Chains A and B, each alone.
Chain A
Amino acid sequence: MKPAPFEYHAPREVDAALDALAEAGAEGKVLAGGQSLIPMLNMRLAAPAHLVDINRVSALAAVETTARGVRVGALARHAQIFRSAPVAAVQPLLRQALGLVAHPAIRSRGTVVGSLVHADPAAELPAVLALLGGSVRLAARGAEREVAARDFFVGPMEAAIRPGELAVSAFFPALGARSGTAFAEVARRHGDYALAGVCALVVLDEDLRVSAARVACIGVGPVPLVLDVSGHGADWASAARAVQDEAEPEADIHATAEYRRHLLGVLTERALRAAARSAGSDDGEGEGG
């Protein structure tokens, strides 16, 4: 198993990367962490004529945290975001999710933005972006656009990115006051892609009643399934039934559709409960698991 030959480009600046991508057009691919792309090249499921390696574009490694949220540059690795205390303080769901993404050796190289572009329907980070209402910034030679999460994930392994475009960063909005998040999933082995997973955001009002609750589910549809369950108050079991009714999970060699629907109910309840618990505590730190 070896990759087919390709023309290799190793720009040091964003502009040079955009030039290389513009010239390669539909024949070009961005190489970020390579943790999804290189397996595909090794198995020859992909054989792009041009690879634009962005690992030397140090400007893309920037991570900016403000009161509004976290902007993660395209070269920021999973491990770097996982360990970052400032990121966890602004948006704890990133760390909760990244603890479930693959293994340490994959997280050393894999990038957060690469995972969003890759858009695996069982991946954790697309669900995080979708749940929080974040966005991805795409640049092409002479143009830039910011695409909201709901428009970015268009199908399994398919994101709204065009030939010649580079995803330069992603923006994850901050956690508000009296809010909590949690991520719950079931995988065959720790670090495997999940059979099903649910991340939740719960917002309480001043009397600590639920004012908003939302979940994003993975592994049960072509793109993260985002559902508003604010109407169920703190009746998490009823919210879980509503989510089970909405989802249309499919069967594969790992699990039947029925089992996935069952997991979805259990995980929805678990994630909402944990998110509500952390919303009620001051620090806003929820739980992964």
Chain B
Amino acid sequence: MSGHEITLVVNGVARRVSVPARRLLSDCLRHDLGLTGTHVGCEHGVCGCCTVLLDGEPVRSCLTFAVTVDGQEITTVEGLAGPDGMSAVQRAFAECHGLQCGFCTPGFLCTVTALLRENPAPTEEEVVEGVSGNLCRCTGYQNIIKAVHRAADLMAEES
């Protein structure tokens, strides 16, 4: 069962781990590496809360086998903050009340980080479309969408 020795560069640190081929990346991060910031909801790609960045691109960690991404770079919610503290996206979510229970938040933060990297000044429609693959069951989407625009403003001010 066990038996694939892989190396994942997680939040800048090379981590060696031995996993069975069927280990989902989400479970590898949470169980093998103890990084429980990545949440798991539906495990079939719909809710988005397991979204992480793979070589900078947003992916569903529940729809990726850890062995497949051997050698690649992964950024989880734990890796979004910089040496100076929370990232602009994280601060914007806090400021705009973009989270309540926080279950969906790691997925939103990773998704929005990638969205703003590709499109630093998205329109309302682009924001709505950009977060349409992430479900939130308690905050409601208005504040989340506000937070995305606020993050874009913060990033523009700080660059």
Contacts and interface: CB of A to CB of B under 8 A. Distances in A.
Interface residues of A, number: 31
A34 B64 CA distance: 7
A6 to B, nearest CB: 6
Contacts of B45: 35, 38-39, 106
Interface in A85-136: 102-106, 108-109
Contact of B43 (A42, A55, A108, A109): A42
Interface in B119-138: 128-130, 132-133
Interface string A6-18: 1110100000000
B133 A105 contact: yes
A11 B65 CA distance: 15
B59 A103 contact: no
B59 A108 contact: yes
A51 interface: yes
Contact of A190 (B24, B62, B132): B132
A38 B73 CA distance: 21
Given A105-B58, A191-B132, 15 more contacts: A1-B44, A5-B1, A6-B21, A31-B68, A35-B45, A38-B62, A42-B44, A51-B21, A53-B65, A53-B68, A103-B48, A104-B130, A105-B111, A109-B59, A190-B129
A5 B60 contact: no
Contacts of A7: 21
A255 interface: no
A79 interface: yes
Contacts of A104: 58, 111, 114-115, 130, 133
B20 A108 contact: no
B10 to A, nearest CB: 18
A55 B25 CA distance: 15
Interface string A61-101: 00000000000000000010000000000000000000000
